[in-house]
Amino acid sequence: MNKAEDTLKQMVGGSVTLDKDEKTGIAVISLDNKKKKNALSGKYTEHAGMLTGKNTDHAGKLTGSMMCELNDIINELQSWHTGKGLILRGENKTFCSGGDLNTLHNIMSPTQEYSISGFIGQSLQNLSQLPLINVALVEGNALGGGAEMAMSCDFMVMADNARLAFVHKKMGVITGFGAGTRLVRKFGTLKALEILASARTMDATECEQLGLASKILPHSENVLDLTKSWLHNYCDGDPKVVRNLKAMVVAASNLSLEDSHVIERTLFSELWGGESHLKAQKSKL
Protein backbone atom coordinates (compact mmCIF):
# COMPACT_ATOMS: atom_id res chain seq x y z
CA MET A 1 0.00 0.00 0.00
CA ASN A 2 2.91 2.37 0.55
CA LYS A 3 3.53 2.80 -3.17
CA ALA A 4 -0.13 3.67 -3.68
CA GLU A 5 0.04 6.21 -0.87
CA ASP A 6 3.22 7.70 -2.37
CA THR A 7 1.53 8.05 -5.76
CA LEU A 8 -1.57 9.61 -4.25
CA LYS A 9 0.61 12.14 -2.45
CA GLN A 10 1.71 13.52 -5.81
CA MET A 11 -1.83 14.69 -6.55
CA VAL A 12 -1.80 18.35 -5.67
CA GLY A 13 -4.82 20.34 -4.46
CA GLY A 14 -7.76 20.12 -2.12
CA SER A 15 -8.10 19.05 1.49
CA VAL A 16 -10.18 16.89 3.78
CA THR A 17 -11.08 18.07 7.27
CA LEU A 18 -12.66 16.53 10.34
CA ASP A 19 -14.91 18.23 12.85
CA LYS A 20 -15.81 16.15 15.91
CA ASP A 21 -18.64 17.30 18.15
CA GLU A 22 -18.15 15.69 21.56
CA LYS A 23 -21.56 16.89 22.75
CA THR A 24 -23.64 15.14 20.08
CA GLY A 25 -21.09 12.42 19.25
CA ILE A 26 -21.45 13.33 15.56
CA ALA A 27 -18.39 14.01 13.41
CA VAL A 28 -18.36 15.69 10.01
CA ILE A 29 -15.79 14.94 7.30
CA SER A 30 -15.68 17.62 4.60
CA LEU A 31 -14.09 17.28 1.16
CA ASP A 32 -12.87 20.58 -0.22
CA ASN A 33 -11.39 21.14 -3.66
CA LYS A 34 -13.30 24.17 -4.87
CA LYS A 35 -11.57 24.65 -8.23
CA LYS A 36 -12.35 21.09 -9.30
CA LYS A 37 -15.83 20.54 -7.87
CA ASN A 38 -14.31 18.53 -5.01
CA ALA A 39 -12.49 16.09 -7.31
CA LEU A 40 -10.18 13.84 -5.29
CA SER A 41 -6.75 15.45 -5.58
CA GLY A 42 -3.94 16.24 -3.18
CA LYS A 43 -2.86 19.43 -1.52
CA TYR A 44 0.01 21.77 -0.97
CA THR A 45 -0.32 23.90 2.10
CA GLU A 46 1.92 25.99 4.26
CA HIS A 47 -0.16 24.92 7.25
CA ALA A 48 -0.16 21.23 6.55
CA GLY A 49 0.69 20.32 10.11
CA MET A 50 -2.26 22.29 11.40
CA LEU A 51 -4.70 20.54 9.11
CA THR A 52 -3.47 17.02 9.49
CA GLY A 53 -2.38 17.26 13.11
CA LYS A 54 1.07 15.90 12.20
CA ASN A 55 4.03 16.50 9.90
CA THR A 56 4.55 19.83 11.63
CA ASP A 57 8.20 19.96 10.64
CA HIS A 58 7.19 19.37 7.01
CA ALA A 59 4.97 22.44 6.79
CA GLY A 60 5.16 23.88 3.31
CA LYS A 61 5.78 20.50 1.66
CA LEU A 62 3.44 18.35 -0.33
CA THR A 63 1.70 16.42 2.43
CA GLY A 64 -0.62 14.01 0.80
CA SER A 65 -3.65 13.63 -1.35
CA MET A 66 -7.21 14.03 -0.21
CA MET A 67 -7.51 10.25 -0.13
CA CYS A 68 -4.47 9.99 2.17
CA GLU A 69 -6.00 12.63 4.42
CA LEU A 70 -9.32 10.82 4.39
CA ASN A 71 -7.51 7.61 5.29
CA ASP A 72 -5.75 9.35 8.21
CA ILE A 73 -9.07 10.77 9.41
CA ILE A 74 -10.76 7.37 9.28
CA ASN A 75 -7.87 5.94 11.30
CA GLU A 76 -8.29 8.74 13.82
CA LEU A 77 -12.01 7.98 14.10
CA GLN A 78 -11.26 4.33 14.93
CA SER A 79 -10.15 5.51 18.36
CA TRP A 80 -12.93 8.04 18.95
CA HIS A 81 -14.64 5.91 21.58
CA THR A 82 -17.39 8.39 22.44
CA GLY A 83 -18.44 8.91 18.82
CA LYS A 84 -21.79 7.71 17.50
CA GLY A 85 -22.38 9.24 14.09
CA LEU A 86 -20.53 10.52 11.06
CA ILE A 87 -21.47 12.71 8.10
CA LEU A 88 -19.38 12.68 4.91
CA ARG A 89 -20.00 15.75 2.76
CA GLY A 90 -18.48 18.15 0.27
CA GLU A 91 -17.87 21.86 0.73
CA ASN A 92 -19.03 24.40 -1.88
CA LYS A 93 -22.53 22.90 -2.19
CA THR A 94 -21.41 19.82 -4.06
CA PHE A 95 -20.36 16.34 -2.95
CA CYS A 96 -17.53 15.12 -5.18
CA SER A 97 -16.86 14.97 -8.92
CA GLY A 98 -14.77 11.80 -8.60
CA GLY A 99 -11.09 11.22 -9.22
CA ASP A 100 -9.05 14.21 -10.39
CA LEU A 101 -9.07 13.70 -14.15
CA ASN A 102 -5.83 15.63 -14.63
CA THR A 103 -3.86 13.38 -12.35
CA LEU A 104 -5.66 10.17 -13.21
CA HIS A 105 -4.67 10.87 -16.80
CA ASN A 106 -1.05 10.31 -15.79
CA ILE A 107 -1.68 6.98 -14.09
CA MET A 108 -1.88 4.59 -16.99
CA SER A 109 -0.30 1.49 -15.49
CA PRO A 110 -2.87 -1.18 -14.50
CA THR A 111 -0.55 -2.35 -11.69
CA GLN A 112 -0.31 1.14 -10.23
CA GLU A 113 -4.07 1.67 -10.51
CA TYR A 114 -4.73 -1.74 -8.93
CA SER A 115 -2.70 -0.72 -5.93
CA ILE A 116 -4.28 2.76 -5.72
CA SER A 117 -7.82 1.41 -5.97
CA GLY A 118 -6.85 -1.10 -3.26
CA PHE A 119 -5.75 1.73 -0.97
CA ILE A 120 -8.88 3.81 -1.59
CA GLY A 121 -11.18 0.78 -1.49
CA GLN A 122 -9.73 -0.25 1.89
CA SER A 123 -10.19 3.27 3.26
CA LEU A 124 -13.84 3.27 2.20
CA GLN A 125 -14.31 -0.21 3.63
CA ASN A 126 -12.82 1.00 6.92
CA LEU A 127 -15.14 4.00 6.84
CA SER A 128 -18.19 1.82 6.30
CA GLN A 129 -17.13 -0.45 9.18
CA LEU A 130 -16.53 2.27 11.76
CA PRO A 131 -18.71 1.76 14.83
CA LEU A 132 -20.41 5.04 13.93
CA ILE A 133 -23.68 5.30 12.03
CA ASN A 134 -22.50 7.09 8.95
CA VAL A 135 -24.29 9.08 6.30
CA ALA A 136 -23.23 10.65 3.02
CA LEU A 137 -24.81 14.07 2.61
CA VAL A 138 -24.99 14.55 -1.16
CA GLU A 139 -25.50 18.06 -2.48
CA GLY A 140 -24.92 18.76 -6.15
CA ASN A 141 -22.99 16.01 -7.91
CA ALA A 142 -21.60 12.68 -6.73
CA LEU A 143 -19.89 11.31 -9.84
CA GLY A 144 -17.62 8.33 -10.50
CA GLY A 145 -15.38 7.89 -7.46
CA GLY A 146 -17.62 10.43 -5.68
CA ALA A 147 -20.64 8.16 -6.16
CA GLU A 148 -18.51 5.28 -4.84
CA MET A 149 -17.69 7.26 -1.70
CA ALA A 150 -21.36 8.08 -1.10
CA MET A 151 -22.25 4.42 -1.60
CA SER A 152 -19.81 3.31 1.11
CA CYS A 153 -21.84 5.02 3.86
CA ASP A 154 -24.69 3.37 5.77
CA PHE A 155 -27.19 6.01 4.66
CA MET A 156 -27.40 8.56 1.90
CA VAL A 157 -29.21 11.84 2.52
CA MET A 158 -29.64 13.91 -0.63
CA ALA A 159 -30.43 17.55 -1.19
CA ASP A 160 -33.21 17.94 -3.75
CA ASN A 161 -30.67 19.23 -6.31
CA ALA A 162 -28.38 16.21 -5.90
CA ARG A 163 -27.35 13.85 -8.69
CA LEU A 164 -25.60 10.52 -8.46
CA ALA A 165 -23.91 8.84 -11.43
CA PHE A 166 -21.62 5.85 -11.77
CA VAL A 167 -20.07 7.35 -14.89
CA HIS A 168 -17.21 4.83 -14.99
CA LYS A 169 -18.35 3.06 -18.16
CA LYS A 170 -18.32 6.37 -20.02
CA MET A 171 -14.72 6.80 -18.85
CA GLY A 172 -13.78 3.40 -20.27
CA VAL A 173 -13.48 1.72 -16.86
CA ILE A 174 -15.68 0.18 -14.18
CA THR A 175 -16.05 0.86 -10.47
CA GLY A 176 -12.83 0.19 -8.56
CA PHE A 177 -13.42 1.36 -4.99
CA GLY A 178 -16.03 -1.25 -4.04
CA ALA A 179 -19.30 0.34 -5.19
CA GLY A 180 -19.93 -2.29 -7.87
CA THR A 181 -19.88 -5.01 -5.22
CA ARG A 182 -22.02 -2.89 -2.91
CA LEU A 183 -24.60 -2.24 -5.66
CA VAL A 184 -24.85 -5.94 -6.52
CA ARG A 185 -25.25 -6.90 -2.85
CA LYS A 186 -27.88 -4.22 -2.33
CA PHE A 187 -29.96 -4.70 -5.47
CA GLY A 188 -28.97 -8.04 -6.95
CA THR A 189 -27.31 -8.43 -10.32
CA LEU A 190 -30.04 -7.12 -12.61
CA LYS A 191 -30.63 -3.70 -11.08
CA ALA A 192 -26.92 -3.19 -10.36
CA LEU A 193 -26.08 -4.06 -13.96
CA GLU A 194 -28.70 -1.66 -15.23
CA ILE A 195 -27.38 1.21 -13.08
CA LEU A 196 -23.73 0.55 -13.95
CA ALA A 197 -24.13 -0.31 -17.63
CA SER A 198 -26.38 2.69 -18.35
CA ALA A 199 -23.96 4.97 -16.42
CA ARG A 200 -26.96 7.25 -16.16
CA THR A 201 -27.46 10.18 -13.87
CA MET A 202 -29.99 9.59 -11.11
CA ASP A 203 -31.65 12.49 -9.36
CA ALA A 204 -32.58 12.52 -5.68
CA THR A 205 -36.16 11.35 -6.30
CA GLU A 206 -35.02 8.33 -8.30
CA CYS A 207 -32.37 7.51 -5.68
CA GLU A 208 -35.02 7.61 -2.98
CA GLN A 209 -37.38 5.41 -5.00
CA LEU A 210 -34.56 2.90 -5.53
CA GLY A 211 -33.73 2.87 -1.81
CA LEU A 212 -30.31 4.42 -2.36
CA ALA A 213 -31.32 7.65 -0.62
CA SER A 214 -33.01 7.45 2.76
CA LYS A 215 -34.04 11.08 2.91
CA ILE A 216 -34.37 14.08 0.60
CA LEU A 217 -33.86 17.50 2.12
CA PRO A 218 -34.51 20.91 0.56
CA HIS A 219 -31.32 22.35 -0.86
CA SER A 220 -30.56 25.19 1.55
CA GLU A 221 -27.88 26.80 3.67
CA ASN A 222 -28.86 24.67 6.67
CA VAL A 223 -28.83 21.29 4.94
CA LEU A 224 -25.93 20.15 7.13
CA ASP A 225 -27.81 21.04 10.32
CA LEU A 226 -30.90 19.25 9.00
CA THR A 227 -28.77 16.19 8.28
CA LYS A 228 -27.33 16.28 11.79
CA SER A 229 -30.88 16.38 13.22
CA TRP A 230 -31.92 13.51 10.95
CA LEU A 231 -28.92 11.45 12.00
CA HIS A 232 -29.53 12.26 15.66
CA ASN A 233 -32.78 10.23 15.43
CA TYR A 234 -30.63 7.14 14.91
CA CYS A 235 -27.69 7.82 17.16
CA ASP A 236 -29.14 9.47 20.23
CA GLY A 237 -28.57 7.72 23.56
CA ASP A 238 -25.69 5.74 25.03
CA PRO A 239 -22.64 5.60 22.70
CA LYS A 240 -21.94 2.01 23.78
CA VAL A 241 -25.38 0.90 22.59
CA VAL A 242 -25.19 2.76 19.27
CA ARG A 243 -21.65 1.49 18.62
CA ASN A 244 -22.47 -2.13 19.47
CA LEU A 245 -25.56 -1.94 17.27
CA LYS A 246 -23.48 -0.74 14.32
CA ALA A 247 -20.79 -3.34 15.04
CA MET A 248 -23.44 -6.07 14.97
CA VAL A 249 -24.71 -4.87 11.57
CA VAL A 250 -21.15 -4.86 10.21
CA ALA A 251 -20.55 -8.41 11.49
CA ALA A 252 -23.84 -9.64 10.02
CA SER A 253 -23.01 -8.23 6.60
CA ASN A 254 -19.53 -9.80 6.51
CA LEU A 255 -19.55 -13.05 8.46
CA SER A 256 -21.27 -16.41 8.23
CA LEU A 257 -24.56 -16.81 10.07
CA GLU A 258 -22.91 -18.79 12.88
CA ASP A 259 -19.99 -16.39 13.35
CA SER A 260 -22.27 -13.37 13.21
CA HIS A 261 -24.57 -14.84 15.87
CA VAL A 262 -21.57 -15.24 18.18
CA ILE A 263 -20.59 -11.60 17.66
CA GLU A 264 -24.19 -10.49 18.15
CA ARG A 265 -24.44 -12.34 21.47
CA THR A 266 -21.08 -10.97 22.59
CA LEU A 267 -22.07 -7.39 21.78
CA PHE A 268 -25.47 -7.93 23.43
CA SER A 269 -24.00 -9.35 26.63
CA GLU A 270 -21.50 -6.49 26.85
CA LEU A 271 -24.49 -4.16 27.29
CA TRP A 272 -26.48 -6.37 29.68
CA GLY A 273 -26.54 -4.90 33.19
CA GLY A 274 -24.85 -1.75 31.92
CA GLU A 275 -25.89 1.76 32.89
CA SER A 276 -28.35 2.25 30.01
CA HIS A 277 -29.89 -1.16 30.43
CA LEU A 278 -30.43 -0.74 34.17
CA LYS A 279 -31.85 2.75 33.71
CA ALA A 280 -34.29 1.61 31.03
CA GLN A 281 -35.35 -1.39 33.10
CA LYS A 282 -35.95 0.77 36.16
CA SER A 283 -38.15 3.18 34.23
CA LYS A 284 -40.35 0.30 33.05
CA LEU A 285 -40.82 -1.34 36.48
Q: Is 100 in the site for ligand BCO (CB under 6 A)?
A: yes
Of the candidate spans 21-29, 60-68, 139-147, 266-274, the one that interacts with ligand BCO by CB under 6 A turns out to be 139-147
Q: Choose, by CB under 6 A, the member of 144, 178, 180, 239 that binds ligand BCO.
A: 144
Q: Does 121 bind ligand BCO (CB under 6 A)?
A: no
Selected from 14, 42, 83, 98, the binder of ligand BCO by CB under 6 A is: 98
**Looking at 164-172, 190-198, 203-211, 237-245, which segment touches ligand BCO (CB under 6 A)?**
164-172
Beta strand pairing call for 155-159 and 133-138:
parallel
Q: Which is nearer to ligand BCO, 134 or 175 (CB)?
A: 175
* Three-state DSSP class for residue 96: strand
162 lies in the binding site for ligand BCO (CB under 6 A): no
Residue of 120, 100, 72 whose CA lies nearest to 12:
100
- Asked if 48 and 59 touch (Cβ cutoff 8 Å), the reply is yes
Site for ligand BCO in 27-56 (CB under 6 A): 36-37, 39
Closest separation in Å from C-beta 262 to ligand BCO: 37
Confirm or reject binding of residue 180 to ligand BCO (CB under 6 A).
no
Q: Letter for the amino acid at 259?
A: D
Binding residues for ligand BCO, total number by CB under 6 A: 18
Q: ∠25-31-32 over CA atoms, to 5°?
A: 130
Q: Which of 52, 97, 129, 134 binds ligand BCO (CB under 6 A)?
A: 97
Closest CA to 95 of 52, 45, 36: 36
171 contributes a contact to ligand BCO by CB under 6 A? yes
Least separation in angstroms between residue 35's CB and ligand BCO is 6
Stretch that binds ligand BCO, among 24-32, 68-76, 163-171, 250-258 (CB under 6 A): 163-171
CA distance 227 to 159: 10
Least distance to ligand BCO, CB of residue 189, Å: 22
Angle at 271 between CA 266 and CA 275, to 5 degrees: 165
CA dist 27 and 254 (Å) reads 25
Does 25 contact ligand BCO by CB under 6 A? no
Q: Give alpha helix (H) positions in the chain.
A: 2-8, 48-52, 66-78, 101-104, 110-128, 145-151, 179-187, 189-198, 204-210, 223-235, 239-254, 257-271, 275-284
Give residues in contact with ligand BCO (CB under 6 A). Answer: 36-37, 39, 97-102, 104, 141, 143-145, 167-168, 171, 176
